Structure formats: structure tokens, C-alpha cells
């Protein structure tokens, strides 16, 4: 089976892990945590990074840090991973959904304003499958209504909007280092920000609200969390960061090869890259339109029989029982989300994918497009 995505651990990972173990620093104190946080801030072009146990934890921490609380509302795209909406719920606030754009699959800026109420505190933007959101109109809305922008850049490490890296655009942003992400520590995440007060809040809430200036005194003024990443994970992650440009180039090369081989097959919509965007192509994603010979689900089944793994797109937030039960308004229409979640799939996208594998996958898809 050609997997959809697997880690690519071909650098200093083992060496740094060995060093972390030899030094006996295996908890969340240690030089790899500090070194990674410093170098990651530099890479993104922001002042502060704090590592967390996961991307979901990073989203929760970011929302806590900017003060999201019970009674608040946060705008969240209807087409995204569940973590975005869950993180808002963890704060006791309500996610309010906005449909996405048919081309970029990211939040549609022209639909945001009608969802803003007196309770709205922030807009969470999610760069989907490597393509950045159209930020300028979103900045305008955020300014007009005095809202904060939380960026979920978990799928867009290395992507750019108008020459600036995703994760450096909003007031606070989040990354995931799960095994299928651009760089990985197995599980892990990070919050990035330019604002010292948000950074301090992140460090405070992530460490059980121990006082920042007296970390060894057992006095806790608020309820906090343990979201600390270990030095062993950070050792793997630092080795991964050293190779990030290689990984991004590989994914972009693979996307170009896929595009080249699939572009003239009827009924397939290829991923887009707007003129203002630099798409990292974290996951190579396509839509199966009506004039293809098979439905998306039929194609996925056929691919599986040929040893090719794939994944369907996310299912809309308005379709989630968990969110309905939590009291989110799921009554509106989200036609683009519903449509692409039925039509979309992503193909094998590992950095370590081979050209022969891309050839094989595209040949198989072409055959299925012709033989029915
Ligand atoms: C992966 C991902 C997350 C969650 O990250 P975890 O590390 O798995 O918790 C959040 N948002 C998006 C858009 C993601 O793709």
C-alpha cells in the first residue's frame, strides 16, 4: 500500500534524541525545546514560539491566551478539522461557522460579516491543505469590528500569503507536528505570536498556571493545563526543522508532477495556487466532478484495490453531532463545504514519495477514467 503520508526521518533525529537521553533531560526542560522555539520563531518571522503537546492543545492554549471565555463567539470555517471547533468549545465559547471558497477551500471572506454579533471576539482562519486564506479582506473585517485573528497554520507550514509566511499573519497562530504534518515529532504543536502578553499567557496556562515569576511555588490563581512538549520530542523536531526547505520543495515538485499527469483527465479539479499564494501542497488534493466516470467514493475504493491509500475531505462542522449537542447553530446552509466534502480526496503526499509511485497512481486514475 502506498500510504497517504508517512514521516520522513532522514536527518539528525536519532543523534539528537540520543544526546537528549545521554544528557538525562527528557522532560519539558532542556536545550532542544529552547533551541527549537528560537529557530522556529526565526523561520516563521515572528517573535515568540511555545511548544505544546499537540496542535489541538495549541489551538486551545491560543484561545485561552487571547481571553476567549464563556459567552464569546469565534468565527470558524465550516470546512476544517474538528480541532478548530473543539478548541473554541473547550473555552466554553461558541464556534460560528462560515462556508468556504470553491477554489481555495479556505474560509470565504465575503460571508464572514453576516455572522458577526456583539459576542464575536475572534476569527479563526485555517489555511487548508497548504493553501493560504485570502487574508486582506479578513484583516479589513477584523479591523472594522475590532476582532483578533487566530491562525491555524497546521497544514500550511512553509506556505506564504503575499510573500509572508503563514503563521506570521494573525495575532496568534498554531501549528501541529503530528506524524503526517510537514515536520513532525510524532505528536506535538506550537503557538506563535509577536505579542509578549499572549506569549506569557501561553506559557502560564500551558504549565498549570504556576506563577511565571515563581515557577516552583505551589500557588495557582487560575485553572491551567499541562500542555508541555518533552525535550525528546523537541530533539526530533529540531532535526526535522533543519530539513524543512527540502521537504517543502519535495511536496511542491510532487504537486507539479501530479498536475502534469492529471490535468487533461476529464472530471478532475486540480488544487489551485492563487497569484497571491505560495502553496506548500501539504496534501495533494483533488475534486472528482460529475463528468468523471466514478464517484469519489468509488474511485477511492478502486485505488485501494490497487494498493493506493487516499483520504476523503473533511465533513462540515455543521454536520457534527458533537457540536450540535454542544449548542452550536448548525441550521444554516454551507453548500460549498457540503459539495467539496463529497467530491474531495487527497492522494499520497509524503515528502519521501517516489516519481515511479506518482506515475503509477496517475496511470491507475487515468485507466479508471477511461474504462467505465
Ligand atoms: C492536524 C491539524 C490540527 C490538529 O493537530 P493535532 O496535533 O493532531 O492535535 C488542527 N488543525 C488542523 C487544520 C490540522 O490539520
Percent of the chain with pLDDT over 90: 98
Mean pLDDT of 132-156: 98
pLDDT, position 215: 81
Ligand 1 contacts CB of residue 280 (under 6 A): no
Q: What is the pLDDT of residues 294-310, one digit of tens each?
A: 999 999 999 999 999 99
Q: Please enumerate, as own/partner, the contacts of 108-116 that have beta carbons within 8 Å and a separation of 24 or more.
A: 108/336, 109/133, 109/134, 109/137, 109/138, 109/141, 110/137, 112/75, 112/138, 112/141, 113/141, 115/75, 116/75, 116/141, 116/145, 116/147
Cα 364 to middle of ligand 1, angstroms: 30
Enter the C-alpha cell of residue 353: 514519495
**Which atom of ligand 1 is found nearest the CA of 180?**
1
In a 3-state reduction of DSSP, which class is residue 106?
coil
Could you give the count of Cα atoms lying within 13 Å of 100 in the half-sphere of its Cβ? 29
Helix (H, G, I), strand (E, B) or coil at 107: strand
Residues 6 or more apart whose Cβ sits within 8 Å of residue 84: 59, 76, 77, 95, 124, 126, 152, 317
166 CB under 6 A from ligand 1? no
Phi-psi map region of 327: left, alpha, beta (phi>0 left; psi -120 to 50 alpha): left
Cα 189 to ligand 1 centroid, rounded to whole Å = 8
SS3 content of the chain, % helix, strand, coil (to 5): 40, 15, 45
* Residue 139 pLDDT > 60: yes
Q: Which residues of 215-240 are buried (b: 16+ CB within 10 A; e: fewer)?
A: eeeeeeeeebbebbbbbbbbbbbbbb
Cα 8 to chain center, whole Å? 18
Q: pLDDT digit string (tens) for 212-259?
A: 998 889 999 999 999 999 999 999 999 999 999 999 999 999 999 999
- Residue 151 near ligand 1, beta carbon < 6 Å: no
| pLDDT number for residue 216 | 85
Mean pLDDT of 281-297: 96
pLDDT, the chain, mean: 97
What is the C-alpha separation between 153 and 81, in angstroms, rounded?
12
The answer, yes or no, to whether any atom of ligand 1 lies below 6 A from the CB of 157, is no
User: How large is the angle between the packed helices 31-44 and 13-23, nearest 10 degrees?
Assistant: 140
Q: Cβ(4)–Cβ(311) under 8 Å?
A: yes
pLDDT recorded at residue 106: 98
Task: For residue 36, give the nearest of 197, 244, 209, 214 by alpha carbon.
Answer: 244
For β-strands 268-269 and 285-288, DSSP reports them as antiparallel
Helix (H) or strand (E) holding 165: strand 164-165
pTM of the model: 0.97
Amino acid at each position: 500500500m502506498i500510504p497517504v503520508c508517512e514521516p520522513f526521518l532522514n536527518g539528525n533525529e536519532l543523534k539528537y534524541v540520543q544526546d537528549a537521553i545521554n544528557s538525562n533531560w527528557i522532560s519539558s526542560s532542556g536545550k532542544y525545546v529552547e533551541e527549537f522555539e528560537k529557530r522556529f520563531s526565526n523561520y516563521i518571522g515572528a517573535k515568540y514560539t511555545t511548544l505544546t503537546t499537540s496542535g489541538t492543545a495549541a489551538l486551545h492554549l491560543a484561545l485561552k491566551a487571547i481571553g476567549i471565555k464563556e459567552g464569546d463567539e469565534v468565527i470558524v470555517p465550516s470546512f476544517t478539522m474538528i480541532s478548530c471547533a473543539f478548541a473554541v468549545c473547550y473555552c466554553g465559547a461558541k464556534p460560528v461557522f462560515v462556508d468556504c471558497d470553491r477554489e481555495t477551500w479556505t474560509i470565504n471572506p465575503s460571508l464572514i460579516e453576516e455572522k458577526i454579533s456583539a459576542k464575536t471576539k475572534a476569527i479563526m482562519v485555517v489555511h487548508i491543505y497548504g493553501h493560504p486564506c485570502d487574508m486582506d479582506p479578513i484583516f479589513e473585517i477584523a479591523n472594522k469590528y475590532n476582532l483578533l485573528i487566530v491562525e491555524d497554520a497546521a497544514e500550511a507550514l512553509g506556505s506564504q500569503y503575499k510573500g509572508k509566511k503563514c503563521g506570521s499573519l494573525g495575532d496568534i497562530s498554531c501549528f501541529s507536528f503530528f506524524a503526517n504534518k510537514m515536520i513532525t515529532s510524532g505528536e506535538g504543536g506550537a503557538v506563535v505570536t509577536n505579542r509578549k502578553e499572549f506569549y506569557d499567557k501561553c506559557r502560564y496556562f500551558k504549565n498549570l498556571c504556576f506563577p511565571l515569576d515563581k515557577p516552583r511555588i505551589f500557588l495557582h490563581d487560575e485553572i491551567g493545563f499541562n500542555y508541555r512538549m518533552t525535550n525528546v520530542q523537541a530533539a526530533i523536531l529540531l532535526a526535522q526543522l533543519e530539513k524543512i526547505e527540502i521537504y517543502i520543495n519535495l511536496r511542491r515538485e510532487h504537486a507539479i508532477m501530479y498536475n502534469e499527469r492529471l490535468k487533461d483527465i476529464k472530471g478532475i479539479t486540480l488544487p489551485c495556487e492563487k497569484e497571491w499564494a505560495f502553496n506548500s501542497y501539504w496534501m495533494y488534493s483533488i475534486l472528482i466532478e460529475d463528468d468523471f466516470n466514478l464517484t469519489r467514493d468509488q474511485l477511492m475504493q478502486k485505488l485501494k484495490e490497487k494498493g493506493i491509500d487516499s483520504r476523503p475531505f473533511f465533513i462540515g462542522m455543521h454536520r457534527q453531532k458533537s457540536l450540535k449537542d454542544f449548542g452550536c447553530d448548525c441550521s444554516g446552509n454551507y453548500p460549498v463545504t457540503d459539495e467539496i466534502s463529497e467530491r474531495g480526496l487527497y492522494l499520497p503526499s509524503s515528502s519521501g514519495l517516489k516519481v515511479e509511485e506518482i506515475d503509477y497512481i496517475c496511470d491507475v486514475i487515468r485507466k479508471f477514467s477511461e474504462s467505465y
